[in-house]
Structures are given as C-alpha cells and as structure tokens.
Structure 1
Amino acid sequence: MDSKLFSFIAASFTSLLWTSLPSIVFTFLLLICTCLIIRKYQHLGCFMLGIVWMASVGHWQYTLQLSSEQISQPTQITGKVSSLVIAEQNIRFNLKVTQIEDQHLFFTKTFRLSWREPAWQVQQGQQVTLLVKVKPPHGLANEAGFNYQQWLFSEGINATGYVKSHVENTLLDDVKTVRQTLLNRMLAFPLPHRSWLAALTFGYRGLLQPQDWHLVQKTGVAHLIAISGLHLALVASISYVLIAWIVGGLISRFYSLHHLNLHNLAMFLTLFPTLAYSALAGFGLPTLRAWLMLLLFSVCFLCNKHLGAKSLILLGLTCFILLFPLSIFGLSFWLSFSAVIIICFVFWRWPVKQRDFSLVAILSAMVKLQLFLTLLMLPLVAWQFSYISIVSPFVNIIAVPAVTMVLVPICLLGVMCLAFKPDWAFSLFSLADQILSYGLRFLNFALQFDASFFNIPAFPATVWCFVFLFVSCCCLPSFGLNKKYLYLLLLPLASHLLPQRSNTWQIDVLDVGQGVAVIISKNKHAIIYDVGASYPSGFNMADSVLLPILQARGLSKVDLVFISHGDNDHGGSLPQLLKGIQVSQVLTNQDRCQQHFAINWQGLSIKALWPDNALKYSDNNGSCVIKVSDKFHSILLPGDIDKSIEKQLVELYPKQLKADILLAAHHGSNTSSSSEFIQTVGAEYVVFSQGFMNRWRFPRPEVLERFEQVNNNVDTQAKIFTTSDSGQVSFIMEYDLPKPIVVKTFRQDIYPYWYANVSRPK
C-alpha cells in the first residue's frame, strides 16, 4: 500500500516541473490507459493516476479564468468576504464571488480586491455587491523576491483587482463571522502588542510590521506565529485530558455507561474542539494539514488499525493532494511536511527509551530535536530565503515551550472569556501581552549578537540538495562505511563559495511593474539605473525586487545609482534602497547625470547624452539618457523622453545613439519611439518595462507598429520583450569580445513552469 501511495504522490509532485499542462485529449487518453492497466500494473497505474489528477486540477483552474469581457471593463459582482479585515482605509481582502453581473456561478470564484476608501467597515462574513475592475492573477517575475503570482495560484485566487467607487456598491448582509467578532473585541483592548496577540490567537498577521517579520525570521521563530501543527497538538492534548476527565467522571457515576471505551470516546470528541480551533485560525492550510493528520490518526486508533509513522505520512500526503492539490505549489506545504518528516527521522534515529523517561530525558530530547531540526531544515531555508540563523536552535529551545505551553493556553482562555466575561478576557490578554514583551526583548537581545545570522548568496537548488544529502548521511548510522568521503558532497557548495572572476558583464531589466529598474553588473560590482516605484501602502520595488536580487548575488554595495528623473515610477524607491544597502554615489538629472558626463566603470564606458539642463524641460523630457558600452556591445537607457527630445538626440548623436539593446522610452508610450529614433538606434533587442494590463495600454499598438515597420526595412529584425510577459530580461555579454549576446527571460528560460506564468484572459 505504501509503495502505491508513494507512486501517486511522486507523480503529483512532477507537476512542479511541467513547463506546460498536458492537453485535455492527452489527459483523457492517459486516464483510459490507467483504467486498463491499474489492476495488473498497480504501481504504474497509481503513478499515471497522479499525473491525470494534477493535469485535471490545472485545466479546472484554467476554466475558472475570467473572460476578456469581464476584465476589459468594470464588472458588478456579488459575494461573501472571506478574509479578516481590520483597517478602515486602503484595505485588501478576499471575496468568494457567487455572481458576476447577472450570471450566478455554480462554483464560486475567489477574487483578491483592494479598496482605497470603503463605503462601510468591511468585515469577514459580510455579503456585498461591488463594482470592480479585475484582471487575471499576476505578479512580478524576477530571479529573487517573493513570487506573488505562484502564491496566488497556490491559494486558488482567480482574479485580482480593485473596487471602484459607485453608488451601487451595497452591503447586502452585515453578518460577521465569529472569528471576526472575537478579533474585533480583542483588538479593542488597549494592549501594546495587539498585533502579536492577533497572530498567535487568530492567525491574523496583517498587523505585523516589516521589522516584526525581520525579527521572527532571523531568529527562526516565524513558525510560532502561524497557527499550525504545534498549536493544534497542544489543543488536542488539553482537550483529550479534559474530555477524559469529565467523561470518566460521568462513566464512573452511571453503571449503564460502563461499557463505553473512555479512550475511544475521548479521542473521538477531541476532534471537535480541534476543528473549532482550526475555524478560529480561519481554516488556514497549515491548520487543516494538522487537523487532517489528527483525523487520520484518530480513525486508525478507533478502528484498531496500526499504521506506522511512514504509512500515516504517506496517507496524509495523499489525502491532502486530493483535497487541496494547489497547496503543493506553496512554500508552506514543503516547510510543514519537511519539518514533520525530520521530526520522525530524529525520533527514529535517537529514540527516547521508556526507562529513561524523566525530566532530564525530555529536556535532552527537546534540545536534540531543535538542533537537528534546524540543521536538516537549513538547506531548504537557505535555498528559499538566502540566510542562515545561528541563534535559531537556541532561541527555539526557549521560545517553543514558552509559546505552546504558556502563551497559547492563556490566549485560548482569553478567547473563551471574550464572549461572556470581557473583564476576565482583558486580564488574560494583559498577562499574555506582558509575557510577549519579555519574549520580544529576548528575541531582540538574541539578534544583537554579531553572528546571530548572516545572509548568503543564492545558490542553485542542486547545490543545496548535495548539502542536504551530506547532513542526512552524517546523521545516519555509518553502515560500515567511512564517513569522511561524505565531504565530497560539499564540493558543489565549495565551488560556488570560492571567488570567481568572469569576463562577462550583465544587464538585467527587472520586472517592477509600471516603472523602470535596471542592474548592470560586472566582477561582483553593480550600478543601477532607476529604482522603480514606492506606494503609500509601504510596498516598494527596493525591498521587493532590488535588494533581494542584490543579496542573492552576494553584493553588499552598489557603486552608482542613476535616477533618470523625479517620477515615482523611476525614483520612488530610492530611500528604501539607500536604507537597505550601501550606495557609493547617487547621480540624478538635477546634478551630474547630464550631457557630457562620462566615466569608465569596470572597463565599461558610461556616457550621459541628455539633458543639457534638466530645468529647461518637463520632468519626462529632462530624463537622464545614458549609454553603457564596451568595444562591441552597448545599451541605451532613455528614461521617459518624448519624440521632440529623440529628434534632438538624433541630430546631436547620429552615430553615438547606435546600440545593441534599447530600453524603450516612456514604457512604450505613443509620445515616444519615433521611427527616426528607432532607426538611428538600430537595436537588436528592445525591452518595454511596463505593468501587466496597465491602464495606459503600454506598449501602445502604434509604437509596436513603428518598430515592425523599421524591422521590415532592415536586414536584422529587432527582438521585442515586455517585462509584463517575459518578467526580468537578462543580457549576458563577453567583455570586449565580438561574441553574440546571450538573452534569458525569467518566465521563459529561468522559471518557465506552467503555474507561475502569465495567464491571459479567455
């Protein structure tokens, strides 16, 4: 049985490597073949069934896409608010949509919406009718940083957009969920650490600030503020003891109940308070995973079926893939199950013997578990987050029992008192708040040490696989083999750690939505042209794109930052960039980034061709236009200049404008990219840096037509990229050598998987 489940799971996991979905016809034929052979070849049949299942799930998600008509204009929708909402302005929430215009949906769709100025206090559970402007799920696509589009897919979100102000926006039913009501009551208490209490008690982390996330991530305790298996196991244990005590008292008093099995009854009844706790956490996937494992264990216990840890994990994985197939595309799935498997491995390798069962043995087991959990999880955490926390195991030894044995029980008692004794609830939450203040001081103290954590460059997944093999084999018995040969598994890591000097230089046009950010790098040094936008919500392109990429490349300093002009979409994220990394010099069109500026950087020539004086022109036309080149390759970066400035540049620099790569002016606006300018530059590659389905419809069809007309008149056809479709576009060139330019795009070359790529409307 285990091997068949493993075949199904392995086949399902192969969907992570598909660059496209199998066609519907192929999937149907594969299903027929599976039905024909599964009796004779059961393992192969289970493997094929896994492929059929995940392909079917993918096609089902495609059928839930919105039509072109539904995204081309404002649409009226009706649905139920499914996420907790606290703020009164600039809110973001999920809506389970049951009706689009006059069409009632048989299967609901999930929209993630933002609303700048809500007409009422939006709360979880409300039924609403809203006028919205939506588009397919989409996110920035760069080599580092959070993959928002993949997260949307794993959460089953079918569209994103915003609510338009309209008189027909209506609150149909103001019924709030119990979870929202209790959270509101708790947040009404004047407690300094309400944001942390909301996360620990209700699983609502929307109030946590970036510095809070930095604190828990670098100390390795982020898992404690996500209601998951650890918290559910505590609730199950407490519930089992209380139920057994109460029911045991009843059974002992009434002779007619003596035939009941106390343990079976307590195990069965424990499922209900744990389910209620899952509801309190909003039925988040980590909580559901833990509850599902508890359900399987309980069923096996009640049916007298003994399943080992391996069988239970495989059965749990199979059930979860069947019930929540999209979750395997989210990182939390892999972190959760990796932790479970490692815990089972540690207890198998170093079992706690019953005769040694004492307080010392328990403490020893906890220390050992935390150390090996941190060690074995290190490759996965380092691969995904590019840092290693040294203090994590030591902090967790104290934090895990403090949170699970003290804080969570106090918070749960506080929740139960919220409904009927608010004064008691306030006292309990005040106690929890005080304990939290000491805990946060402890975390900040741990982070003050110089070697508490350190960032590392991003290495390929294969390197971390070898590191994981090394750590795992070191933990296993020797089996008569000499373990010193295991160090050979660290050779791939060593090869990446050794200093490397390359003769190439690289240009990366980053995907920053409707904006511009370009990194030019050579010999572990970098310069940046424009830094993208920053928004009132706090979201900015420095923290979300630039800094993660620089960290992933192991860069701790930027030599030069050029800001073409003052528009937010070009220079808005500069303060966050300067805060996050050392920058040697910033040049803008108001100071040195003007005509006749020229420097030699890492052997590359950097020349400013415009403006002669930025004050003489509008903000866009005063953009700093620079050209970066070696003897054989070059890129022209023109900012947001329009056709009038392009004409002057053609007259001033009829030969110097020639470049292999052109970043199209003003994101592809029809006011720029004149035919004469396009022809003079004669670029082999053209990149439009613009937002997905942006309101200005950049690049404009007229601009694309002009590029096509110029292409028809020359021998070499320019290849056109848009960052909304291709994501990050990278150009790799051999320095001062006439070799062809190597081009890579994130969506087509670096991360070409079907679940992370753009889905155009039907």
Structure 2
Amino acid sequence: MQIAIFVFAAGVWGGQYQTQLPSHAWLAVLSSILTIAGAVAFQWYKSGVVRANLFRALVLAIALGAGFAWSSWRAAWRLADELPRALEGRDVELTGVVAELPEAGEQGVRFVFHVEKASAAVPQRVLLSWYAAERGGAAGVVPSPHPGERWQFTVRLKRPHGLANPELFDYEAALLERGIRATGSVRPSPPPVRIDDFVVRPATLVHRLRDAIRARFLAALPGAEFAGVLVALAVGDQRAIPDEQWTVFRNTGVSHLISISGLHVSMVGLLVGWLAGKAWRRSQRRMLRLPAMKVAAATGLAAAAVYAVLAGMGIPTQRSLIMIAVVALALLGGRAPSGGIVLALALLCVLLFDPWAVLAAGFWLSFGAVAILMFLLGGRVRAAKGWRAAVASQLGITLAMIPGLVVLFNGFSLVSPLANALAIPLVSFVITPLTLLAIVLPLTGLLELAHWFFGLLMVFLEWLSALPFAMWTQAAPPGVLAVAAVAGVAWLMLPRGTPARAAGALAMLPMLAWVPDRPAYGAFRMVVLDVGQGTAVHVRTARHELIYDTGPAYRQGGDAGARVLVPYLGAAGVRRLDRLVVSHDDLDHSGGMASVLAGVEVGEVMANFAVPADAPPPRATRPCLAGDSWSWDGVEFRILHPDERELGKTSDNDASCVLRVAAPGGSVLLAGDIERGAEQRLVAQASGSLASTVVVVPHHGSRSSSGDAFVSGVAPRAAIHSAGYLNQFHHPHPAVLQRWSEGGATNWRTDEQGAILVDAGAHGVEIASWRDLARRYWYGR
C-alpha cells in the first residue's frame, strides 16, 4: 500500500505540471478505464488468473493514473470558478464576509473575501486590497476589517496574475492552491458599508479568535522587535516578521522553527497527552475502565488538532496532525502502525485534500525531513541514544536536505547544525510553551519572558548569519544533477559497512560545482524581467554582468529589487554585478535600487542622482552621460543620452539614460522613459547609432513616446514593452503597439508573456518569453 500511495503522489505531481488540462471527456474516459481496470485486476487476483507480482504492477499503474486524474479533475473544477475577462477592470458590487486574517500594511490592508452576492458573475473567493487613500473617510487612515465581518464593497477585479520570471516564486500557483480566483481593490465610491459585525460560522470563529490573539500579542508588546515571531508561533501569521529577520533565519537554517511546524504540533500533542495520561493513572478505578494510553492518545490528538486549526493548517501542520491522528486512532484500536504506513497515509490525505500541495516547497521539505528522520532512526542494529542521537539526526537531516534546498532555494546554510543545536531546544521547549501559555493565560509577563529568550537567541543567530561563510549560494542546477545528488545522499545514509558508502558524496559534487553556461565571446544575453509597472533588465556577457534599472517600489510594500532582482540574480548564479545603470530617479525604475545594493555586490553605479541614503555605498559611482562607452568581452556598450547640458533642464523622463548594447549578432536599445522631445534630439544627434535589432520601448509604451521618427530610426525586429498587468496608465497604448508593428517589429509584452529572454550570438538574435518556456495550465486562467 505504501508504494501505491507514493506512486499516486507521483501521478498528482505529474498532473500539476501539465501545460494544458485534458478535456472533461478525456478525463471521464480515463477515470472509467481506471475504475474498470481496478475492478478487473482485483477479480483476476482473487480468482488466481494473475500472480501477485503482476497484480502489484497493475495496482501501481492504476495508482499513477488515479493521481493524474484526481489532480486534473480538481484543477478543472477549480478553474471553472473564473472571472469573465469582460469584467476585468470594471466596477462590481460585492456583498460577503471577510474570510481569513487580514494582512495589514503601511498603506492599506489585504484580505480574502468570501462573496455571497454580486452584481455580476464573479468567483466565490477573491483577494481584495483596501488602501488608505481609497477608504472614502479620513485620508491616511488604514482600514481595519476583521474576520467574520460582512461588508458591501464596490471593487475592481482582475484574474489571478503574478510576475513570471525564471526560477522565481509562482504567485498564480499560490493563489490557485488557496482557491482565490480573482484579485482586486476596494473602490472609494460608493463608500464601503459594514453590514454585520460578525457572521457566525466555524471558520470565522477560528479566524476571529486568531485575530483577537494576534491583536492582544501586538498590544502587549508595542514596538517589540520580535513580537511578530511570537505571533507566528501562536497563530501561524508570519506577516509581521520583517525581511531583515527572515534573512537571518534563512542564513542560519532555522526558518522551520519560526513557522508552526510539525515539530511544534507534535510537541503540543505529546505534552498534553503525557499530562492527561499521568493524571489518569492517579485513579485505579479509571485505569480499570480505560487504559491511560488510550486517554493520552485521545487528548493528545485533540490538543494537536486545536493548535493546528489555530495555526491555519499549513502543509507541515496538516502532515503532522494527520500522522498524529493515524497513530492515535491505531492506539485507540489496539494497533501499532509502522512509521512508513503513518507517513504514507499522511501523504495520501494531504494530496486528496490539496493536490496543489506538491507545488509548495513546504510540502517537499516537510515530508522529506520526516522520511529522513525515520530512515536515520529506524532499523539500526546499534542506534545512537541521547545527545548522540540528536546530533546524528541533525547532521543527517542537514546533509540529506542539501539537494532539496539547492533546488528550491538555490543554497543552504553552512551554520545550520550549530544554529539548530541551540534554536531547536530553546524555541521548542521554552519560547513556544511560554507563547502558547500566554494564549490561555493573558499575562503580559509570559510574552515578555518569551520575547527576552528569543532576543538572546537572536544575538547568537545574528552573529552566525554575519559570518562570511554562513550561506552556500549557487545557480539553480539542472534536474539531472539534482537527481544524482539525491541518489548520492541516499547512498551516504546507508548503514555502516555498506561498500563505498563515502562515494555518495562524489555524486553531490556535480550539483554543487555546477555553474550556468555563459555567452560566448562577442555575444550577450538579456532578460527583461517581469517586475510589474516598471523596468529591470539583466545583461550578461562572457565574463560580466549589468543591470539596467531596478524596477518599482510596490504599493502593498516591498520593491522589485528584493522580490525579483536579488532572487533572480541568485538563481542565475550572479554573485557580483560589474555595473548597475539606473536610467532616472522615478520609482518605477529606481524603486529597487537600495535592495539590489544591499543584496548583491555592485562594482559601480552609473546614475545621474545620489544613491539612496539607506543603501550600502557602492565601490564607485559615475554619471550616465552621452558619449560614455566601454567594451566587455567583444560586446560594445554606449550611452546615447542625456547630454550633460540637458541635465536639470528637462523632465526626469526626458533625462533618462539611454544605453545601446551591440554585438556582431545583434543589438539592443534600452530607452528608459524618454518622451517625444528626447526622442527627437536623439534622432537628430545620434541617428547613426539608434538602429537596433531589439528595443525596450520607452516609457512602457506610453503614447507620449515612440514617435514616428524614433520608430523609424530604431527600426527594430522586436519591441519589448515592460508594463504591469492592467495598469492604471493603460500601457502599452494600442496606438504605440500599432506604430511599432507597422515599423516592422514584433511586439513583446511582459504583462502578458512574463520575462522576455533575448539571446544575441553569432547566429543572430533569438527571443522567447518565460510564460511560453515554462507554461502551466493555470496561466491566464
């Protein structure tokens, strides 16, 4: 049965990586075939027509098909609840209930809204943003809806859409897993109306309780540095933890302790079960009626379930709760299931409930860590005990998780064993119990004590995180190297006496030593990243790296530098930028500049404004002025605009730094936000240098740019428009798209196609979009 469940999981995983879902008719045929095949195989086995080995093979084949069919059916049903394209960007009136914990930000709040009634056909679950400036009341007041409240809003919705870039987080997949089928914003007019203070439902009761606990914790620790961590340990809401602390947690490998993990749920169940069993044993009469073991199992399961529900039922929490339930029910029934059965049943239950779980990193890390622990601690003739067992387990998990961490996060912490040696006992047995006790007993002193202990831990973690060798980072490896590394780890984990066991380490070396191939001499690659309404471009030559613009700062918080550029550069294996060129000081081009300077070593900044005060100072700076040029690896870089005399005399847009990159196989023009005036000057002064194979269209395709003379002067084969999906400026303008098309260019759009990849080599120029290269069935749905 265990193998069949794992094969079923493989089928679910395969179903989630389809580029297009099968038709309902095809799925119905497949489901019918699987059902008939299962019934026939079972009947043949009972009657002795087939042998056991053949029967097992048939069961595995059916399990694989069943997993594929199940994930496909669930996907088809969920995608059927979609927003019609005709309603995107239109005002719609909704009445419904705030369904989950709202996420407060500096400028507004985001929350899941369960739609009960609407003026048009909309999905049942939508994610709404309600900004302070749009509240309709006092300016600057951040709205504060609470779970369970019924509201009437006028909103503008759009289909689920996220930034699509190589190797980065898939926001659309995350929305699909949560059942959110549209996103949008609350409109100020007509003003929102709260209809009911609280709608009593099981889910709203839970989320209102979580909201109350979060509010009480934050009020008890006003301005406390680690209050967000205690909230995360209590109710699973990690959004109050600042990015700086997450960086420390990642660098030291303790992120799994900050979320409510399976370890915490198991600890609560075991502790409550142990206390209940101990109390039950005090009465001989009670013991005769019901064994203390069964009482402990039932109470432990109940406590774990309450904590898991309070925590929001994330994947690690689900896995741990299901495993506890299997063990508890087995003990209540007088059975003792093996660890493999428990893990397999937990896997099956998670995938039946949530087949999209296989898309989440937490799924692989959670089940992988437990499987590794079972393998390390089970079936050994001379198993280690006490502290030796703890040390061996921690080192074994650290080593075994390396391939997964490299594939999922492009690196792993080298100081993780040392950090976890202190963090695991302190968080699990001191900080978390104090935090949970503070939920039941509203004593501020408990939270202050937990906060003090965590502050002590952070001193140690920050010291470890600052070590220059704290993190191993590398480019995302090919799948074949990752598979070889997993096989090597498995061989290393075999018992002592296994022939050539140490050779398993050699199988990991190709993955750890792998670096992505680079352009040849005289060639370059360019990626116009999908950063929303803004611009960010990466140019790579044989030995050099350049970034042109750093994308926008986002209204909901954060910026493209932290969310897109730094993670992308890590996945691409870029540890140092030779030059950062920022065209001008508008937030849609320079919004991520501080984050890039903080996250990546930068050799030189080229810009016509001061580096942000909150950014680490670069090694060198220089102005971006016409006539400046340099050559890297047979590729020519030349600044065409602005002239020094124009600085301060034109608008910020028209003072944009215009960069042309040229190689024997093709050229690219990066035009910033220049408008008609600057375009005309360029055509007059640098007409011989304008012609380019590819142009990143000025000002995101605004109709104030891309004049006829400029389009004719550039005469590109491809025009790339970097713009946000359904942006408020309606970029790119249809007239601009038509103008470039009539000029002989193929239009490419980041809002519809994701990141645009340009490869200029000896063969000429090749262009592709990330949404086409890595297509998934949910894109555009």
TM-score normalised to the size of structure 1? Answer: 0.90
- Quote the residue 1:714 is aligned against: none
1:149 to 2:149 alignment: no
The C-alpha deviation readout for 1:691-730, integer Å capped at 9, x for no partner, is: 112122222222222233333xxxxxx3321112221112
Superposed counterparts of 1:737-752, under 5 Å: 737=762, 739-749=763-773, 751-752=774-775
Percent identity between the aligned chains?
27
Who is 1:84 aligned against? 101
Q: Conserved in 1, the CA contact under 8 Å of 2:357 and 2:363?
A: yes
Matches within 5 A, 1:105-504: 108-116=124-132, 120-175=143-198, 177-190=208-221, 192=224, 193-249=226-282, 252-253=284-285, 258-348=288-378, 350=380, 361-418=385-442, 425-477=443-495, 481-483=499-501, 486=504, 489-490=507-508, 492-493=510-511, 496=514, 502-503=520-521, 504=523
Q: Secondary structure at the match of 1:543?
A: helix
- Structure 1 residues 458 and 480, CA, compared in 2 at 3 Å: closer, same or farther? closer
The CA distance in 1 between the partners of 2:69 and 2:530, in whole Å, is 34
| d(CA) in 2 for partners of 1:261, 1:494 | 53
- Deviations along 1:170-222, one digit per CA (max 9) or x if unpaired, are 22233371221122222221463322211222222121111110111111111
Match of 2:721 in 1: 688
Q: After alignment, is 488-497 or 372-381 more displaced?
A: 488-497
Task: Summarize the alignment of residues 541-560 of structure 1 with structure 2, pairs less than 5 Å apart.
Answer: 541-560=560-579
SS of residue paired to 1:142: coil
Q: Which among 59, 67, 79 is matched to residue 42 of structure 1?
A: 59
Residues 129 and 463 of structure 1, relative CA distance in 2, 3 Å threshold: same
Q: Is the 8 A contact 1:515 1:570 kept in 2?
A: yes
Offset of residue 88 of structure 1: 7.6
Are the structure 2 counterparts of residues 487 and 449 from structure 1 closer, same or farther at C-alpha, using a change threshold of 3 Å?
A: closer
Aligned to 1:604: 635
* Partners of 1:364 and 1:625 in 2: CA distance: 62
The answer to whether the 8 Å contact 1:84/1:93 transfers is: no
- What is the rounded CA distance, in whole Å, between the counterparts of 2:607 and 2:94 in structure 1? 46
Q: Which residue of 1 is the match for residue 8 of structure 2?
A: 8
TM superposition shift of 1:264: 2.1
Change (3 A) 1:449 1:80: same
CA distance in 2, matches of 1:433, 1:194: 7
Higher RCO (C-alpha 8 Å, min separation 6): 1
**Are the equivalent residues in 1 in contact too, given 2:756–2:767 (CA < 8 A)?**
yes
Separation of aligned partners in 2, 1:706 and 1:631: 27
Secondary structure of 1:72 counterpart: coil
Over 3 Å counting, the alpha-carbon distance change for 1:500 and 1:78 in structure 2 is closer
- Please identify, of 132-141 and 88-97, the stretch whose mean Cα deviation from structure 2 is larger: 88-97
- AA aligned to 1:702 is A
Q: How many residues end up aligned between the 2 structures?
A: 732
Kindly state the Cα deviation for residue 240 of structure 1 after the two structures are TM-superposed: 0.9
Larger displacement relative to structure 2 (450-459 or 569-578): 450-459
2: CA distance, partners of 1:59 / 1:88:
34
Q: 1:217 to 1:55 in 2, by over 3 A?
A: same
In the alignment, the residues of structure 2 paired with residue 42 and residue 454 of structure 1 have an alpha-carbon distance, to the nearest angstrom, of 42
2:590 — aligned with what?
A: 571
Given the superposition, is the C-alpha separation of residues 330 and 155 from structure 1 closer, same or farther in structure 2, using an over 3 Å criterion? farther
Counterpart-to-counterpart distance in 2, 1:162 and 1:617: 35
Inter-partner Cα distance in structure 2 for 1:298 and 1:602: 65
Could you tell me how far apart the structure 1 residues matched to 2:531 and 2:518 are?
Answer: 29
Counterpart selection for 1:667 from 687, 696, 700: 700
Q: Give the Cα–Cα distance (whole angstroms) in 1 for the partners of residues 470 and 648 of structure 2.
A: 49
CA contact (8 A) 1:98 1:104 kept: no
* Aligned equivalents of 1:482, 1:173: Cα separation in 2: 69
- Check conservation: 1:179, 1:202, Cα contact below 8 A: yes
CA contact (8 A) 1:95 1:113 kept: no
CA distance in 2 between partners of 1:587 and 1:153 (Å)? 41
* Alpha-carbon distance between aligned partners in 1 of 2:121 and 2:568, rounded to the nearest angstrom: 44
- Counterpart secondary structure, 2:441: helix
Alpha-carbon distance in 2 for matches of 1:390, 1:281: 30
Say if 1:561 and 1:583, in contact at 8 Å, map to a contact too: yes
Q: Secondary structure at the match of 2:589?
A: helix
Is the 2:489–2:508 contact (alpha carbons within 8 Å) kept by the matching residues of 1? no
Q: 2:776 aligns with which of 732, 737, 753?
A: 753
- Partners of 1:351 and 1:13 lie apart in 2 by 36
Q: CA deviation at 1:480?
A: 6.1
1:422 paired residue number: none
Amino acid in the other structure paired with 2:656: S
Amino acid at match of 1:599: W
- How far the C-alpha of 1:689 sits from its partner, in A, is 0.5
1:86 offset after TM fit, Å? 7.1
Q: Which residue matches 2:612?
A: none
Structure 2 regions of 5+ residues with no counterpart?
A: 42-57, 138-142, 199-204, 610-621
Does the aligned pair in 1 maintain the 2:81–2:124 contact within 8 Å? no
CA contact (8 A) 1:38 1:44 kept: no
Q: In 1, Cα distance between the equivalents of 2:168 and 2:552?
A: 16
Structure 2 CA distance for aligned equivalents of residues 745 and 651 of structure 1: 34
Q: Is the contact between residue 669 and residue 692 of structure 2 (CA under 8 Å) also seen in structure 1?
A: yes
Deviation at 1:109, TM superposition (A): 1.6
CA deviation after TM superposition for structure 1 residue 150, in Å:
2.7
Does the aligned pair in 1 maintain the 2:92–2:154 contact within 8 Å? Answer: yes
* Amino acid of the structure 2 residue aligned with 1:721: W
User: Within the alignment, does 1:581 sit opposite 2:600 as a pair?
Assistant: yes
Q: Deviations over 1:617-645 (max 9, x none)?
A: 22222222221102341111122223444
1:710 & 1:332 partners in 2: Cα distance?
Answer: 49
Displacement, 1:741? 2.0
1:487 to 1:400, Cα distance in 2 relative to 1, 3 A:
closer
**Alpha carbons of structure 1 residues 94 and 719: separation in structure 2 relative to 1, 3 Å:** same
Cα contact 1:562–1:587 (8 A) shared by 2 = yes
SS of the equivalent of 1:370 reads helix
Contact conserved, 1:598 with 1:606, CA < 8 A, in 2? yes
| 2:19 alignment partner in structure 1 | 19
Q: Distance in 1 between matches of 2:369 and 2:285?
A: 44
CA shift at 1:365, angstroms?
A: 0.8
Could you tell me how far apart the structure 1 residues matched to 2:711 and 2:4 are? 60
Deviation at 1:560, TM superposition (A): 2.3
Distance, in Å, in 1 between the alignment partners of 2:493 and 2:305 is 36
How many angstroms does 1:436 deviate by? 1.5
Which residue type is aligned with residue 368 of structure 2? Answer: S
Structure 1: gaps spanning 5 or more residues: 419-424, 712-717
Task: Tell me, yes or no, if the aligned pair for 1:664 and 1:687 is still in contact at 8 Å.
Answer: yes
The amino acid of 1:47's aligned partner reads L
Q: Is 1:539 aligned with 2:570?
A: no
For residue 721 of structure 1, what is the aligned residue in structure 2? Answer: 748
Change (3 A) 1:639 1:228: same
Alpha-carbon spacing, 1:329–1:491, altered in 2? closer, same or farther (3 Å): closer
* CA distance in structure 2 between the aligned counterparts of 1:480 and 1:241, rounded to whole angstroms: 39
Cα distance, 1:35–1:551 mapped onto 2, change above 3 Å: closer
Runs of 4+ in 1 over 6 A off after TM superposition: 498-501
If the length of structure 2 is used for normalisation, what is the TM-score?
0.88
